[in-house]
Chains A and B, each alone.
Chain A
Amino acid sequence: MDILRGKIRALKQRLRPDGDVNVIRLQRRAKMTAVVRQRLPLLKFALFAIGYLWMLALPIIPTETTEKMDENALLPGQVHTHWNWAEVHTADRYLEQLEALRDNNATSEQRSDYLVKEFAKLGLAASAQPYQFSTVFGTSDGINSYAILSSPRTSGSEAIVISASWLSRTGEGDGTLNLRGVSTILAFAAFVRRYSLWAKDLVFVISDGYLEGMQAWLSAYHGVSQPNVQAADLELTSGVIWTALNIDYPGHSFSHLGIYHEGLNGRLPNQDLLRSFRRISRGTGGVPVILYDRLDPKDAESSFGDLLPKWIPIPSTIVQAVEKYYYFGKNVVRHANYQARGIGSGTHALFHQYRIDAFTMYALPATGPHGFHSIGRVLESTLRTANNLLERLHASFFFYLLTNADYSLKIGSFLPSAILVSVAMMFGGLRLWTDAGWTRSLTEEKGAPRWVTRPRPVLQVVTIMASTHLVGAAMFWAINTSWVANSAFGCVLVALCASALPLIALSAPPSGEDEASVSSVLKSLNLCFASTIISAVAVLNFSLAASMGIALGIPLSLSASHKHTPVRLAHYTCYVILGTAWLYYHSGVTKMIWDWQVLGVWFCPFLCIIFSPLVMQAGIVCLLP
């Protein structure tokens, strides 16, 4: 009992020691600061390590299945479908005519005439929309065809779009035609007008080209004008579009339906739509669903295990685990590639900017067993599900990461990885900031050096940072001119100019002892700014934030000035390579500029005005004395 009492007294003494409260508080604060300060490198390392490991672990984090629906009104797969062999026959007839058009090398005009005529034959209001895009690479034109089935049940204040682009997304629009997708739409239009179930207007759009046709059509539909587009106004319009289903069926038959869902600038559709589609496709259509176009290792013909030599005794469970990680990981990387670059993964990508939930169902080319019969039934049932909606899909279901068609990650299980990296950078920046404000002074006569504060050249540093971003803006302007964009040499020249400018920093005089060095304050603010950008972007576009975390996290933390000029230059060269290497890859740059000028993808301005300047600032840190 006495021991216990003694312990309690000791504890009390520890929590509330005797003496002056203020002194104790000051001591406690000093001790706490010292503890954090001492362990800050470790803490930083831990944050970086956990953040990056978390990113690596994204494919295998325990996830939720995509079985559960958030919106109960969707009622997926609960209707009897009417699409049958007669409709398949219709689709085959349309396909024959489309193939004839293809074989005759029909122009956009002839194709559009044919499509509008066929829609009109069905008794639908149909029209065409010519458009022309002019970019620094020249002009591209085409004609969209579309038809509207007015809702038999309501006033048509809402609409659903069923679309197919003339070019398939195979190879990101490499020229493969989407003939079967188009004939599915035609046959489907003939089919749905026989039913009076539709509570929303149905709009059938066959857009020309791969992405540009739909961009022109959607801009015209929503009355958005783009200075470099000449597109005719739409003669027919309907209500607010809520949902869009895009069909991509390039092959003869298909074995799986693939989901493509990434929109422009990292937008995603509501996950409920994807979940309904998956359930309907499996249940009603009997077609297995995959994410993108890669088969699950269980379904694939060759597997990772076959590559290993037989004589190494590896348990099959491990092989399977590795296979699974590899498969899920590839999906995550592919998603990140679409989302971070903001390019979207198909024609559906253009819809999200107008608050329309859209995805592409991609019929994976194979020798069988599925064809028009299955895709029609899946489409019919999915449309019925979308038709059920009385209000828009709920706002909480837009932040997710699909690791494959069956599993998804909630925001809480992937967002912290990027945030942790950004926090580590912030800690690094704050530490440098505090350090820059103090110096050891020996001027005192007492002999023992003591810590004194010194001013930091904030205004100078902010000016340097602002001017790098201005150089970035100039770079963005330059590569958007037609001469630079069209020549690989021009891009290289822009990169060289941008990386030569900071060399002025070499001539900067070293700062005195009584003022913090520009280099250290610049590094501190550079880290803080980069960290802020990463955490802000994380909510908008996780993949971009994570890529920034990977590309900038360690490099920006390592920048430092050096005594010898050659070493400085060598360090600077590394940063130049990190910051401007993308400009040397000309085909990538042209694609990026085209995406910016035609579709308004932000990746090009982001790279020029945010990313490269941040890296250049780290380079300047190395150059400064």
Chain B
Amino acid sequence: TLRLVFAVLVASRLLLSSTSINDYLIHDHQLSSPLTSYLNLQEGIYLFQNGINPYSGGVFRHSPLYLSLFTTFLSPSKAMASVLWTLCDSVGALSLVRIWRARQRVQSSPRDSLIAVLYFLNPYLLLPSLAYSTSSIENTLMLLSIMSACEGTASASLLALAFLLHLSLSSVILIVPITLLLLTDPTSRLTTPKPFAGSWRKAPVLLLELMMYFGILTLASTIVCDGLSWVPQTWGATLTLPDLTPNPGLWWYFFTEMFDHFRPFFLMVFSVHLLIYVAPICIKFQYDALYATFLLVGVLGVFKAYPTLSDPGIFLSMISLFPETYAFMRHPIVTSLLHLHAALLLPLFHQLWLVQGTGNANFFYASTLVFACANGAALVDCVWSGMRIAIGKEVDGYAVTQE
């Protein structure tokens, strides 16, 4: 049945992207950030093809890898893009299904179709993909890397991870959990926590391999651009936030309001803040590296610079991989309602501020806060249920509490 469901989904997805829906979505700030916008990509490609360094202006912030991809193998036309992004979605959904199978250690299961549907029909993933935001490509790479890690093909996983790191620097926090995943296996051990079982001996080799891939990609980028001018415009943008175009994340408003002399300090705080989650989550969930990876994907969705809707979206779709924890969630209805509110308020306040002009930036900022609360609630609840499951069902007369 998965094949049938998958065919229907891919066909309808292709049909949807062949309509003019893209024209309405491509400009939307919530679906593509300055780092992932397809329009910026097209402009960069145009400049590049005409012999102008696209990184000399302040607009193009995509990786040089996109430049080489779209000027050699593919053309940046809309028809091409609609096929490519559909392909990305299909690969992403398939990877998610295969991660599920690897975790359950089965060849196929009745849940496969549901997981594929939850990936394809998640509006947070579908809409950015229809807007040709390159965040969909990053998501696919992330899922590919996790899938290969689950299936034990280390080199493929590390190569995908190196690509991902190259395209989106914030994903650096996934290095540790994916390495842990490569050292262990993806089966669910949430109910039986125990110290780390894998062997550390392979770790240096894996990291070295990752560094090698990453180095090659960096070298390739430098050759493509004939210099290092791309570094401050791509990786640098993630760290220094030069473009304050609104997005559904938490960074932009904070830095529009900030006095310039505080900027470097808070940029450092915001960037380091992302890193501090890695150690505690990886230590706590050392027995189930896939769950740790999943939680860190959630952290990215809430806190990364220049997020689009697809960053929290991938976290939400990945929840479908862990049905065993559902019974232990504390407030799933509150999380869902928060997400419902955020999903209605984000476009509404965006419209009030930027189209109708009757509201101001604070309106949209307020709705991004609701959105962050929703994502935070989902993340916190997943952390809770992931740990709570180990204690098992409550016995009469006893209560489980956190000290």
Contacts and interface: CB of A to CB of B under 8 A. Distances in A.
A260 interface: no
Interface in B306-361: 327, 333, 337, 340-341, 344-345, 348-349, 352, 355-360
Interface in A412-426: 426
Given A450-B396, A529-B340, A536 B333 contact: no
Interface in A41-55: none
A569 interface: no
Contacts of A433: 333
B399 interface: yes
Given A26-B399, A536-B345, A528 B337 contact: yes
B19 interface: no
B396 to A, nearest CB: 7
A352 B352 CA distance: 12
A395 interface: yes
A268 B355 CA distance: 14
B401 interface: yes
Of B349, B358, B399, the most chain A CB neighbours within 10 A belong to B358
B403 A22 contact: yes
A591 interface: no
Contacts of A366: none
B333 A532 contact: no
A398 B333 CA distance: 34
A532 B358 CA distance: 22
A322 interface: no
Nearest to A531: B337
A20 B356 CA distance: 57
Specify the main secondary structure of chain B where it touches its partner: helix
B352 A540 contact: yes
Contact of B348 (A22, A396, A430, A540): A540
A430 B358 contact: no
A609 to B, nearest CB: 14
Contacts of B401: 22, 25-26
A430 B356 contact: no
Interface in A436-458: 450, 453
B344 A536 contact: yes
Contacts of B396: 450
A86 interface: no
Interface string B78-100: 00000000000000000000000
A430 B349 CA distance: 26
Q: Which size class do B's interface residues fall under?
A: 20 to 34
Nearest to B359: A395
A384 interface: no
Contact of B357 (A355, A453, A535): A355
A355 B356 contact: yes
Contacts of B341: 532, 535-536
Nearest to B358: A398
Closest A-B pairs by Cβ, 4 of them: A398-B358, A536-B344, A355-B357, A395-B360
B348 A539 contact: yes
Contacts of B403: 22
Contacts of B399: 26
Nearest to B334: A430
A267 B356 contact: yes
A453 to B, nearest CB: 8
A399 B352 CA distance: 12
Nearest to A533: B344
Most buried by A among B341, B345, B357: B357
A199 B403 CA distance: 69
Nearest to B349: A539
A540 B352 CA distance: 8
Residue among B348, B356, B363, B403 facing the most chain A CB atoms (10 A cut-off):
B356
Nearest to A399: B358
A539 B333 contact: no
B27 to A, nearest CB: 15
Interface in B166-219: none
Contacts of A355: 355-357
B352 A532 contact: no
Nearest to A434: B333
Interface in A343-399: 352-353, 355, 392, 395-396, 398-399
Contacts of B356: 267, 352-353, 355
Interface in A533-578: 533, 535-536, 539-540
A430 B344 contact: no
A25 B337 CA distance: 27
A352 B358 CA distance: 10
Contact of B344 (A352, A353, A396, A532): A532
Contacts of A539: 348-349, 352, 363
Interface in B350-403: 352, 355-360, 363, 396, 399, 401, 403
